[in-house]
Chains A and B, each alone.
Chain A
């Protein structure tokens, strides 16, 4: 792939106590591409995602986003970057239970300084796009698992991030619901031009990616470009 990568991890090492989680892990993510990080449980794929997203800081090695060294940034700079440039989808939506689904989607925009009215209007459009307008006024606990994940996808994309990090986004869903979430998620990400880093152990979910990197024993193996 000829273009410069948007996000790069170089030679990352990270241990939790005496347990090594990453052992010289390196990977590149290009703008607008969907990369699946695959590998068995405990292989380090989620840890790698958290390092790429600036949530975890590696013991050594470097994470670069759009030319900026994430590992050298202060915590508050990293938080600001995460809020403005990154989106997140986790296995269990992690929506705020006290807010309605609509307010959950509007929240990142409000945190970014948007007016309540503008944020809600944009959130409404995203819920419609993810085909979950009917749960707008419900709290996440009143929505089904599949609906909750679509709300989470809407929340991740509402700020039009450059990169969305998704950690087992369909892990808690059945095949049919998981598939619908992936279809809508991938289509919306492609439309907005967001890159997606998708951690999954499910091959059928990985099949929505452009290519895969396999993490094993804290290292990245088998990275193949197909575009």
Chain B
């Protein structure tokens, strides 16, 4: 998640103070991980250095009273970010694959590895499903995104479970 781009995007609606920006970010995107103030100000400092935002100081105000505005360069940076696809990252499968292979190599029950992981995934999916039921449309869409990703992992777990004998023969050969 590019916090810089998210903050820039929020600034497109008009100049804001840092704390206002943080609140707006947390409301929209920070359900699981609200931003720390330090992170907001360090990100804004970087954006400022790169010419993507500028400061509209208020007379007699301290640093926390600075109002940030997006620049033209910032607007086109957000446009470029939105146009670029995110790199699909199959990171979890790699870790799980390593665990399954190591289980097979070390004489552990690889099915247990898969079962344990399935339970953990389903537990999280249940939480998300419940959260969805009690949430608004934004909650539903955010939870759905997580649910589809977890489902993809689970499909991989099932496929691997079905191919475990084959994999065992191969890694032990």
Residue of A nearest to B123 (CB): A226
In the assembled complex, the CB of B137 is this many whole angstroms from the nearest CB of chain A, namely 13
Choose from B111, B115, B125, B161 the contact partner of A207 (Cβ within 8 Å). Answer: B125
Asked if B162 is an interface residue, CB under 8 A from chain A, the answer is: yes
In the assembled complex, the CB of B155 is this many whole angstroms from the nearest CB of chain A, namely 7
Contact between chains at B115 and A203 (CB < 8 Å): no
**B148: A residues at CB distance < 8 A:** 204
In the assembled complex, the CB of A31 is this many whole angstroms from the nearest CB of chain B, namely 20
How far does the alpha carbon of A40 sit from the alpha carbon of B162 in the complex, in Å? 8
How far does the alpha carbon of A40 sit from the alpha carbon of B154 in the complex, in Å? 12
Tell which of B119, B122, B147 has the most Cβ of chain A within 10 Å. Answer: B122
Q: A214-B118, A224-B119, A226-B123 are in contact. Are A207 and B162 (CB under 8 A)?
A: no
Residue of B nearest to A210 (CB): B126
A-B contact count (CB 8 A): 44
Contact between chains at B155 and A203 (CB < 8 Å): yes
Contact between chains at A207 and B133 (CB < 8 Å): no
Contact between chains at B122 and A212 (CB < 8 Å): yes
Contact between chains at A226 and B126 (CB < 8 Å): yes
Q: A40-B158, A204-B125 are in contact. Are A222 and B119 (CB under 8 A)?
A: yes
How far does the alpha carbon of A40 sit from the alpha carbon of B160 in the complex, in Å? 11
Residue of A nearest to B115 (CB): A222
Contact between chains at A204 and B111 (CB < 8 Å): no
How far does the alpha carbon of A206 sit from the alpha carbon of B125 in the complex, in Å? 9
Name the interface size band of chain A: 10 to 19
Q: Which of A211-227 contact B (CB under 8 A)?
A: 212, 214, 216, 221-222, 224, 226
Residue of A nearest to B148 (CB): A204
Contact between chains at A207 and B129 (CB < 8 Å): yes
Residue of B nearest to A43 (CB): B162
Asked if B121 is an interface residue, CB under 8 A from chain A, the answer is: yes
Contact between chains at A204 and B151 (CB < 8 Å): yes
Contact between chains at B121 and A203 (CB < 8 Å): yes
Asked if B150 is an interface residue, CB under 8 A from chain A, the answer is: yes
How far does the alpha carbon of A206 sit from the alpha carbon of B147 in the complex, in Å? 12
Q: Which of A175-227 contact B (CB under 8 A)?
A: 183, 201-204, 206-210, 212, 214, 216, 221-222, 224, 226
How far does the alpha carbon of A104 sit from the alpha carbon of B31 in the complex, in Å? 44
Residue of B nearest to A201 (CB): B158
Choose from B133, B151, B161 the contact partner of A203 (Cβ within 8 Å). Answer: B151
**A221: B residues at CB distance < 8 A:** 111, 115
Residue of B nearest to A209 (CB): B126
Asked if B55 is an interface residue, CB under 8 A from chain A, the answer is: no
Contact between chains at B147 and A214 (CB < 8 Å): no
Asked if B128 is an interface residue, CB under 8 A from chain A, the answer is: yes
- Interface readout for B133-173 with A: 1 if CB under 8 Å, 0 if not? 10000000000000110110011001001100000000000
Contact between chains at A208 and B129 (CB < 8 Å): yes
Contact between chains at B154 and A203 (CB < 8 Å): yes
**A214: B residues at CB distance < 8 A:** 115, 118
By a beta-carbon cutoff of 8 Å, the part of chain A in contact with chain B is 40, 183, 201-204, 206-210, 212, 214, 216, 221-222, 224, 226
By a beta-carbon cutoff of 8 Å, the part of chain B in contact with chain A is 111, 115, 118-119, 121-123, 125-126, 128-129, 133, 147-148, 150-151, 154-155, 158, 161-162
List 9 A-B pairs, minimum CB-CB distance, nearest first: A207-B125, A222-B115, A203-B154, A207-B129, A203-B151, A224-B119, A207-B126, A204-B151, A204-B147
